[in-house]
Amino acid sequence: MKKKKMLLSSKTMDVDFVRKVEELSGTSVRRCFQCGKCSAGCPMATFMEHPPNRIVRLLQLGQWQRILAGRSIWYCVSCETCSTRCPNKVDLAAIMDALRKLSWDKKEPSKEHYVQLANRLFLENIETYGRQFEMRLAAVFNIKSGQFLKDLMLGPKLLCKGKLKMHQDKNRNIHEIEKIFQRIREMRSKGEAE
């Protein structure tokens, strides 16, 4: 296979998007001098096509489409190692959050479906029950991701150990939670919030 060259042109450069990332994350990508310490400590770097330092480099060059098209941002596990160790105080974990949010809102097609599906189901459970319903989370994830047998053998063992709750009552504060979700949606539709 022919190796793709990194091509830079004004067509693929989008600085506005990068400024948005900087605003949401409260951190400047211009501070990074590419020492690579973030990627050296990143537990997920081996699974990413763009390790953390390259994500920042791509942002510096305005090449956000490359980032959003891949899996890397969804493979960040939010362990905060990069942000903790950066000598220039680039809050890379916050940059990852900002990138995921922008990708999520744009409904940009990413190759990584499983992590996004898990996130969506997790948030749905909060809105429905007020608390996390682990059993439903795992069951619906398996069905929707088509992995019906995933961790199936763990189920009975967890049940025996009393670790699997088969029922989740709705939180008595559920109306309060629904209102929070509702107000945020309204704020977004009015353009008051990102």
Partner 1 sequence: MTQDNHLNYAYYPGCSLHASASEYDRSTRELFNALGIGLEEVPDWFCCGATPAHNVDELLSLSLCAKNLDLAKQVNNDMAVACASCFSRMKFTQHILNENQKKRRLVEKAIDGPAHIDGNVKHILEIMARDLGLERLASAVKKPLSGLKVACYYGCLLTRPPEVSKLDDCEAPSIMEDIISAAGAETVQWTHRMECCGANFTLSRPGIVVQLTNAVLNSAKRAGADCIIVACPLCHGNLDMRQEEIEGVYNTSYALPVFYITQLVGLAAGLPAEKLGLDSLMVDPLPMLKKKGLL
Q: Cα dist. 188→127, 192, 194 in Å?
A: 17, 6, 6
Q: Which stretch binds partner 1 (CB under 8 A): 6-14, 32-40, 59-67, 178-186?
A: 178-186
Q: At 128, list the tokens.
A: 């429905």
Residue whose CB is less far from partner 1, 12 or 171? 171
One DSSP character per residue, 90-116 reads --HHHHHHHHHHHHHHHT---S--HHH
Instruction: Retrieve residue 108's tokens.
Output: 């940009």
Nearest partner of 92 among 101, 79, 104, judged by Cα:
79
Nearer to partner 1, 72 or 81 (CB): 81
Per CB under 8 A, the list member of 148, 183, 189, 191 interacting with partner 1 is 183
Positions that interact with partner 1 (CB under 8 A): 24, 26, 43-44, 47, 75, 77-81, 83-84, 93, 96-97, 100-101, 104, 114-115, 117-119, 122-123, 125-126, 130-135, 137-138, 141, 150-151, 154, 157-158, 161-165, 171-173, 176-177, 179-181, 183-184, 187, 192-194
